[in-house]
Structure 1
Amino acid sequence: MIWPFSQPKEPTVAAYLASKPSQRREAKEIRELPIVLLDAETTGFKIGVDRLLTLGIIRVQAQQILVESARSWTVYQEKPILNEAVKVHGILPSDTNNGRPEKEVMLEFLSELQDAIIVGHHIGFDTAVLNEASKRHFRISIKNRVVDTAHLAMQELTAFKRTGYVNQRPPTLEELCTHLKMPILERHTALGDAYTTGLLFLNLCARISRRLGRPVQLRDLPR
């Protein structure tokens, strides 16, 4: 008998787990590394309870957002509900009824991810929800290095510097875009937020480069 925990991984999952970044990656320039902008919309805001509704990714290469690389998925959920989250993202049960099975979406997502750096805004929640989905279907966790543009902004922008106040709130995407006079594209859609986050990320990296007098390396970014 083969016990469930000893069964071979799906090829896509095995390939994802086998992809290993260079041990010297932290010293590499950002423009040399694979970057995936990521945003997810979910059924709510509780980790371990709420589920994935939509997922969007866009690649960044050589400090350029590759619009043609954009991919998005709508995820079928058996029991979608109308709650406060729907008022934010506007994704209705009628939308998710026509979505793809979560396992299929996660397999395609992992095949796109490999060893890329994940960049997102308030990305901790998104990756936690994706972790729950990965564990549910494949018994693995997302292993990629993650960069949160909210924390990056608090590192680089004087107006949002950490104060030491225990309840200091990280800036929202709207606050940062307003401060930097940047456009916001299709807010609260997975691809729109991913693209806007990419613009913010490149803006902040340019500021770091000017401050340091050299190209930005991965180790210059907060974990």
Structure 2
Amino acid sequence: MSPLAEAVSEYRAAFTGTWPQTSAPQAVRFVVLDCETTGLDPKRDRIVSIGAVSVTGGEIDLGDTFESLLRVLHNTAATLVHGITRDETREGVGEEEALAGLLRYLRDGVIVGHHIGHDMAMLDAALERHQALGLLNRRLDTGELALLLEADGAFAGHAPLRDLSLDGLCRHFDIVPYDRHTAPGDAFLTAQILLRMLRLAARSGRRTLSALLEQPPRDGRGNGAV
């Protein structure tokens, strides 16, 4: 059995007895994740780097992190965003090795990210290339959670929530955007945003995992820019 196949088996077993939807957020392991990629097409483009950090018990756990730089054969204009050059990626690991490490790290954590649908699509496409099934984790998008909390009136008394981009949410919550556009940096920024939102959610009566995962009403704004 290959290392990835072993990791997939361990990963799938982790979902036996996972958190029920009625769990309090403080009892859940959230894995805040970000991928830097060569582009936006999951079929054609590749993951360049992955960064993740967990949030448990209402705190960021800096002892529970994951980071991987992948070896890629081509680079694109996305280098201007994430700053990782082709020469740097030559020191990276193969895609299969990176995926095996990520699955062992993820286990049944609830994946959180900003525009997390893109990251999940890239990871699912990568797993498919190695004949592995897609991710099973529940997912929480911080842009969608912002819309949900806004509909609850959680931001009443604060400045209007006009910009739903990651930068906009950092400004709204007075978070310094340090190490922006790197996978570990964006994951850590998103984890800080998540903590603030979890506090707002609790004050709004959203005290279960299922309440956080509800779909927000749509107002035409979407989640803003990356």
So what's the TM-score if we normalise by structure 1?
Answer: 0.85
Alignment counterpart, residue 132 of structure 2, candidates 113, 117, 139:
139
Once the 2 structures are TM-superposed, how far is the Cα of residue 23 of structure 1 from its aligned partner?
A: 7.1
For 1:176, the aligned partner's letter is: L
C-alpha separation in 2, matches of 1:10 and 1:23 = 21
Q: Which residue of 2 aligns with 1:29?
A: 24
- State whether residues 185 and 195 of structure 1, in contact with CA within 8 Å, keep that contact through their aligned partners in structure 2: no
C-alpha separation in 2, matches of 1:27 and 1:82 = 44
Once the 2 structures are TM-superposed, how far is the Cα of residue 18 of structure 1 from its aligned partner?
A: 2.1
C-alpha separation in 1, matches of 2:182 and 2:111 = 18
SS in structure 2 opposite 1:153?
helix
Q: Which residue of 2 aligns with 1:221?
A: 212
Alignment counterpart, residue 81 of structure 1, candidates 70, 75, 86:
75
C-alpha separation in 2, matches of 1:29 and 1:10 = 32
C-alpha separation in 2, matches of 1:140 and 1:92 = 30
- State whether residues 26 and 217 of structure 1, in contact with CA within 8 Å, keep that contact through their aligned partners in structure 2: yes
Once the 2 structures are TM-superposed, how far is the Cα of residue 59 of structure 1 from its aligned partner?
A: 1.3
Q: Which residue of 2 aligns with 1:127?
A: 120
- State whether residues 27 and 219 of structure 1, in contact with CA within 8 Å, keep that contact through their aligned partners in structure 2: yes
For 2:71, the aligned partner's letter is: Y
Q: How many residues align?
A: 204
For 1:44, the aligned partner's letter is: G
- State whether residues 82 and 92 of structure 1, in contact with CA within 8 Å, keep that contact through their aligned partners in structure 2: no
Where do 5+ consecutive residues of structure 2 fail to align? 215-226
Once the 2 structures are TM-superposed, how far is the Cα of residue 185 of structure 1 from its aligned partner?
A: 2.2
TM-aligned CA distance change 1:24 to 1:109, over 3 Å: closer
Once the 2 structures are TM-superposed, how far is the Cα of residue 21 of structure 1 from its aligned partner?
A: 5.1
C-alpha separation in 2, matches of 1:195 and 1:23 = 24
Identity %: 30
**CA shift digits 1:158-201 (9 cap, x unpaired):** 5348xxxxxxxx82100111122222221001111001100101
SS in structure 1 opposite 2:65?
strand
Once the 2 structures are TM-superposed, how far is the Cα of residue 70 of structure 1 from its aligned partner?
A: 2.0
Please identify runs of 4+ aligned residues in structure 1 that moved more than 4 A: none
C-alpha separation in 1, matches of 2:18 and 2:90 = 43
The RMSD of aligned alpha carbons is 2.0
For 2:76, the aligned partner's letter is: L
Q: Which has the higher helix share?
A: 1
Q: Which residue of 1 aligns with 2:179?
A: 186
So what's the TM-score if we normalise by structure 2?
Answer: 0.84
TM-aligned CA distance change 1:61 to 1:102, over 3 Å: same
Instruction: Give the 5 Å matches for 1:36-55.
Output: 36-55=31-50
